[in-house]
Every structure is written in C-alpha cells, then in structure tokens.
C-alpha cells in the first residue's frame, strides 16, 4: 500500500476515464502529457508512491498530488475529470468549495468561479458562450459577453465587489476561466487552447518573407557564465567580485541566419536605450577592431552584413520582430525606429519564443560553440533538482573578466560565425548567401548617409521649455535629466523664456543637445553645465548617478571637476559591500576602459611642489575656461 492517503482504483476503472485528444499537440507537449498520464496511473493504481512516480516521469511532486486529488472528482459534464488533469497548463485547478459561497471582495484564486456560483444568471450566460477562443486577442463576441456581465453586476449594485472593483473589471479573469473550462469539458479539442500556431496564417509573416532583409529577429539572452571582475580599490589592491548577469542582445537576419548587430550589457536586465543602441549598430558601416588580446584573430572572410561591399552592406530590415518586453514598448525606441530605421516593428506575444526561431537557435549555437568556454561558463540544469554543470573548466576567480576585452572576443566570435558555412545554407556562409542574393535584387532602398541613420537611431526628439528670469538675471537655459544646459546663443534671449521648443538629444552622449525653434530652424547647440561636460556619458549612466546622489550618505557632486570620474571613484569605494556598485563599475569599464586607473593617494603637504608666480605680464587670452 503506498504511503499516502490517496484513493486506489482498479486499472480497468481507469480505462473508462475520459482522455483528451492530443493528436495535434506539439511534440514537447505530447511528451509532457504522456509522462503525466504514466505518473498519475502509477499513483492511482498503487504501484508507486508520489515521490517515486514524480521522479520517474520528471514531474513536480506537488503538481502530481494535485492531479491525483482532482482526477476522481466529478467534472461539470457529470464524469470524472480523469486524465484531463494531465494536459499541460490545465492541472492547477483546485476543487470547488462545498459551503454556501458569498460574493468575493477582492481578486484572488478562483474568485471568478465563486462569483459565478453566486450569480446563476451570469453563470448561464457564460456556460452558453460557445464561440472559438484561439490564442491572442479575444473576438468581439467575448467583449459583448463581458459588457453584458458588467451591466448585470452594476444593476445589482455590486460595484464594491469583485470583479467591478478591479481595473479591467474581470475581463482577463473571465477569459482565462472560459479557456480553462474548455480544457476540462468533453467536446472541446485541447489544441484550440494550447496550440502555439494561430488558426489562420499571419498576414505580416506572409508579407515579410522570401527575400533577404524582409525580416530580422531581435532578442536578449542571458549568457551562461558566472563572471568575476577585478575591482581596483582606492587604497590599493584588487578585490574580486562576482557580476550579477551578462546579457547578449542580437539581431539576426532570417533568410541568411546572419547576425546583423549585437550588444553586450551587464546588470539584471536591459532597457530601451540598449535595444536602440543594438539596432543602431546594424545601420552603421562595420570595420574590424584593433585586437589587443594575444592570439585572437578574425577568420578569413569574417565580418558583419554592414561591412559588405556594394548594396549588400547598405540593406536594412523591413520588419524587426521582437518579444513583448516592457522596454520594447518605450516611446523613445518607437520614435527613433520610425524616424531612423523605417519598416515594421513587430512585437510578438509573451512567452512564445518559437515565434522567433532563428534568433533563439542562434543563441543556442553561440552558447554551445563559444560562450560557455569562457571562464565560469556552465550548462543550466534541465531537470528538477539537478545542478548546473561547469563547462569551461576554468575558475572565474582565477580569470577575472574585463568587459572591454570581452567585447573584443564577442566581436570576433560573431564575425567568424558569419563566415562559417551554415547547415541551412548548404556550403555557403551567411555573408556569402547575402552577397549572392543581393545581386538578384531588382531594387532596394539604401540610405544616402548610413552614419547619420545610425546616429539618429540613438537620438530622441523631446519638447523642452526655456527657463530663465530677467528680474533675477537668470540667463535662459534648458533643464534635462537633472542637469542645466546653456549656450551663448541663448544669452539675453528673454523672448524665448517660457516658450516650448524642441531639443535633439543623443542618448549615448549627453554633454550636448541641439535646440530647435522650428522643425528646420535650429537655435544652437547647448552644453551641459559642470561637472557633466567633461566626460562622455549616456542616459543610463546619468540616471544611475542621480539615484546614488539621492541616497543618504551617497555620492556627492558638489565641487567635483568630472561627475563620471567621481562616480567611478564612488563605485570603487563601495564595490566591496554593494553588488549594484560592482555591476555599474563593470558597465563603466566597458564604456571607458582608459578611466580604470584608481586615484592616487593625496600627497603630503611637505611633498607638494611650491609654485611661484611669474614675473612680468601674465596673459590669459589663450586660456580656455570650463
């Protein structure tokens, strides 16, 4: 007898239970379903324990127990739930409460089911709804049903109860309830809900395929490397600290499988500025780097599509497909894409990586072929309870990473990949395939100035208001991201104070901005006030500096000559106690490799050189003041 309190059934009785039709499911879903059926049968017939059946079929023990409890219960069609609970994503359904329900006050697990039990009239409407519900946005008939439900609840004066007290008034919960019910009730094919393929071909997919650069796919990938960097402390010595995450952003061309652009980032996630920067790299001409790592070389023919001669190097994608991440919806990214890149920005559905198969397979090839060989590289666990497996064989503590050198390595890896024969292209490499297909193009759009297009992709046009006060003699200026911008062109331009104008901001270098009075009439170039005008810095860096300066005992910028150098010294001093400081210091190392020398100790007063004033006239005509 198994050591659990579950009911044991005769095998012949289990044969009469309902089994969903899964003939058209994906292979991976079919395997998961069959494993769940085998585990559930072993537990309910008493031939195995919960733990043994879960381990043998690679299932979660908690999930298997929930399935075993729910399977014998009676479904709404009058039959046991049976093997319907084995369908992926249809198992975590708790049994309905037996006591008299009351209207729920707030959203929570099974709140929609409780509300329907309290309102039999609405439950009849929901039960009578038989329209198809394919993946994606629901049809208009569902919207009419939801509006009818909301109107009835308002008529009953239930505005203080769920779902009227939620933002969407229970629209998403009702949709999930209907789809879950159609999995559990006989008469509906589970493929209507679980299939990742749409019921009809996508018009965008049909419109953007068949020719090179009709479609590119973009995605972010966390590199499977536990990287460690050496932090130079202010008082001397090196501290080895672990980096949180390394991210590789890449854009891949679908027909040729070529990598169009890539970007390396450090931190917990990337933002819309990183996405725009990666897309901008694919627009500008590519050149080989001057490699500083001994023994690192480009393979013959290695390169990027933007470095190809002729029309092949000037092509750009007509459709960029990416996932539904929050950063991809940013207005700054969409504005720059429409102005500088052109084409269609296709945002896919969440949690469906198979809609971008080329870039997903690309990351897998790069990981297995090169990236996991870096010190600290590992293979993630694929089964519950397993540990990750070290691949590189080198300890990250013995080989600290330097981000600017890692960029050299990734650039060589990507360029060499583009020159390697691909199995999907026969004996051709991605670059050879692009060159061959570009010669057959009858006509294609090519920009006149590729550098300008890449620069515009990294810029944003924002409305600004001129600040100033004639009475207090505060000269006209512009405030942007906590910094004042001034120019000689604004001196005594009191008529502009209070007027809305436009400014062009280059997000990779915030030391200057271009002010426009109209779309074609510039006012001038404004420069950031000290200490922000000394070293090039991007939008993300300035925001991080501001966050540190607002914390108690944080970064102080009063009286410093350069904000970036002060920020770097502050991070170096706090790297031993703050993981955020380590990640941000690694990011600065990537952008400014020449600023990594730690500040020297202050000299003693007796060792300071005494400077005597010159004799005669002293002229300051050729001196430049900041």
Residue found under tokens 């931190």: 267
Distance between start and end Cα atoms, the chain: 85
User: Of 244, 250, 254, which is closest to residue 220 (Cα–Cα)?
Assistant: 250
* Residues β-bridged to residue 474: 469
d(C-alpha 542, C-alpha 530), whole Å: 13
* Mean pLDDT value of segment 367-394: 87
Strands 378-379 and 467-469 come out as unpaired
The predicted structure's pLDDT at residue 592: 86
d(C-alpha 566, C-alpha 531), whole Å: 10
* Mean pLDDT value of segment 407-422: 95
Strand runs (DSSP E) across 418-552, as ranges? 459-465, 467-469, 474-480, 483-486, 500-506, 512-516, 522-528
Kindly report, residue by residue over 64-84, the tens digit of the pLDDT: 888 888 888 877 666 788 888
Kindly report, residue by residue over 154-188, the tens digit of the pLDDT: 999 888 899 998 888 999 899 988 887 776 554 44
d(C-alpha 162, C-alpha 196), whole Å: 31
Task: Indicate the pTM of the whole model.
Answer: 0.64
Confidence of residue 89 (pLDDT cuts 50, 70, 90): low
d(C-alpha 480, C-alpha 503), whole Å: 10
* Residues β-bridged to residue 240: 230
The predicted structure's pLDDT at residue 191: 41
For the beta carbon of residue 421, count every other beta carbon within 10 angstroms: 12
Which of the residue ranges 83-97, 533-547, 548-562 would you say has the lowest mean pLDDT? 83-97
Q: What are the C-alpha distances in Å from 433 to residues 313, 362, 427, 443?
A: 13, 17, 10, 18
d(C-alpha 175, C-alpha 191), whole Å: 17
CB of 40 closer than 8 Å to CB of 64: yes
CB of 277 closer than 8 Å to CB of 297: no
Which residues have a Cβ under 8 Å from the Cβ of 476 and sit 6 or more positions away?
Answer: 466, 467, 468, 490, 491, 493, 494, 496, 497
CB of 240 closer than 8 Å to CB of 228: yes
Judge whether residue 451 has pLDDT over 90.
Answer: no
| Longest distance between any two alpha carbons in the chain, whole Å | 113
Packing angle of the helix pair 120-128, 111-118 (nearest 10 deg)? 110
| Comparison of pLDDT for 84 and 457, the residue scoring more | 457
Kindly report, residue by residue over 503-516, the tens digit of the pLDDT: 999 999 999 999 99
d(C-alpha 218, C-alpha 251), whole Å: 4
The predicted structure's pLDDT at residue 616: 58
Judge whether residue 574 has pLDDT over 60.
Answer: yes
Confidence of residue 613 (pLDDT cuts 50, 70, 90): low
Q: Rounded mean pLDDT of the chain?
A: 84
* DSSP, residue by residue, 274-317: HHHHHHHHTTSPP------STT--PPTT---GGGSSGGGGT---
User: Of 75, 94, 76, 87, which is closest to residue 19 (Cα–Cα)?
Assistant: 87
Residue found under tokens 């050591």: 3
Q: What are the C-alpha distances in Å from 462 to residues 330, 481, 514, 519, 528?
A: 14, 12, 11, 12, 16
Q: What are the C-alpha distances in Å from 453 to residues 45, 58, 250, 281, 458?
A: 67, 51, 19, 10, 9
* Mean pLDDT value of segment 421-441: 87
Confidence of residue 11 (pLDDT cuts 50, 70, 90): confident
* Mean pLDDT value of segment 93-108: 65
């Amino acid at each position: 007898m198994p050591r659990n309190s579950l009911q044991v059934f005769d095998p012949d009785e289990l044969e009469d239970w309902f089994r969903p039709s899964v003939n058209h499911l994906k292979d991976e879903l079919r395997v998961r379903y069959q494993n769940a059926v085998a585990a559930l049968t072993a537990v309910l017939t008493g031939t195995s324990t919960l733990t043994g059946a879960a381990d043998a079929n690679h299932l979660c023990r908690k999930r298997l127990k929930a399935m075993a409890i729910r399977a014998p219960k009676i479904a709404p069609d009058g039959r046991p739930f049976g093997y319907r609970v084995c369908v992926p994503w249809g198992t975590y359904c708790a049994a309905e409460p037996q006591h008299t329900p009351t209207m729920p006050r707030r959203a929570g697990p099974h709140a929609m089911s409780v509300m329907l039990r309290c309102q039999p009239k609405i439950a009849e409407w929901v039960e009578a709804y038989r329209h198809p519900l394919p993946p994606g946005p629901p049809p208009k008939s569902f919207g009419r049903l939801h509006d009818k439900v909301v109107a009835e609840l308002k008529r009953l004066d239930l505005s203080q109860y769920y779902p009227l007290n939620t933002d969407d008034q229970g629209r998403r919960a009702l949709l999930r309830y209907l789809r879950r019910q159609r999995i559990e009730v006989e008469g509906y094919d589970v493929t209507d809900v679980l299939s990742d393929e749409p019921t009809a071909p996508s018009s965008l997919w049909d419109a953007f395929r068949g020719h090179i650069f009709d479609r590119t796919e973009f995605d972010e990938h966390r590199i499977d490397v536990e990287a460690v960097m050496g932090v130079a402390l202010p008082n001397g010595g090196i501290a080895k600290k672990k980096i949180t995450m390394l991210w590789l952003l890449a854009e891949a061309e679908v027909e040729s499988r070529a990598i169009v652009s890539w970007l390396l980032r450090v931190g917990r996630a990337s933002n819309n500025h990183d996405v725009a920067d990666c897309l901008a790299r694919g627009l500008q001409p590519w050149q080989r780097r001057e490699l500083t790592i001994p023994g690192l070389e480009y393979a013959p023919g290695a390169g990027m599509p933007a470095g190809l001669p002729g029309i092949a190097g000037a092509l750009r994608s007509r459709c960029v497909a990416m996932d539904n991440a929050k950063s991809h919806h940013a207005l700054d990214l969409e504005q720059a894409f429409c102005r500088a890149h052109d084409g269609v920005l296709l945002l896919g559905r969440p949690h469906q990586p198979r809609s971008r198969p080329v870039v997903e397979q690309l990351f897998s090839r790069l990981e297995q072929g090169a990236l996991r060989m870096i010190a600290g590289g590992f293979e993630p666990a694929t089964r519950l309870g397993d540990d990750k497996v070290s691949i590189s064989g080198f300890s990250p503590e013995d080989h600290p990473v330097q981000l600017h050198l890692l960029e050299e390595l990734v650039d060589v890896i990507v360029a060499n990949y583009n020159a390697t024969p691909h199995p999907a292209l026969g004996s051709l490499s991605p670059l050879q395939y692009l060159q061959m297909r570009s010669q057959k193009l009858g006509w294609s759009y090519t920009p006149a100035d590729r550098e300008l297009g890449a620069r515009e992709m990294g810029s944003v046009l924002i409305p600004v208001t001129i600040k100033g006060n004639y009475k207090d003699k505060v000269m006209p200026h512009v405030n942007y991201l906590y910094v004042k911008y001034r120019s000689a062109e604004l001196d005594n331009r009191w008529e502009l104070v209070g007027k809305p104008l436009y400014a062009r901001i280059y997000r990779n270098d915030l030391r200057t901005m271009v002010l426009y009075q109209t779309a074609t009439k510039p006012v001038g170039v404004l420069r950031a006030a000290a200490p922000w005008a000394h070293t090039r810095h991007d939008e993300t860096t300035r925001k991080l500096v501001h966050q540190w300066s607002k914390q108690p005992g944080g970064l102080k910028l009063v009286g410093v000559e350069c904000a970036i150098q002060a920020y770097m010294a502050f991070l170096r001093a706090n790297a031993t106690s703050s993981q955020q400081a380590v990640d941000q210091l690694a990011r600065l190392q990537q952008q400014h490799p020449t600023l990594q020398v730690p500040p020297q100790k202050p000299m003693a007063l007796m060792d300071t050189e005494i400077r005597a004033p010159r004799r005669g006239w002293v002229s300051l005509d050729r001196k430049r003041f900041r």
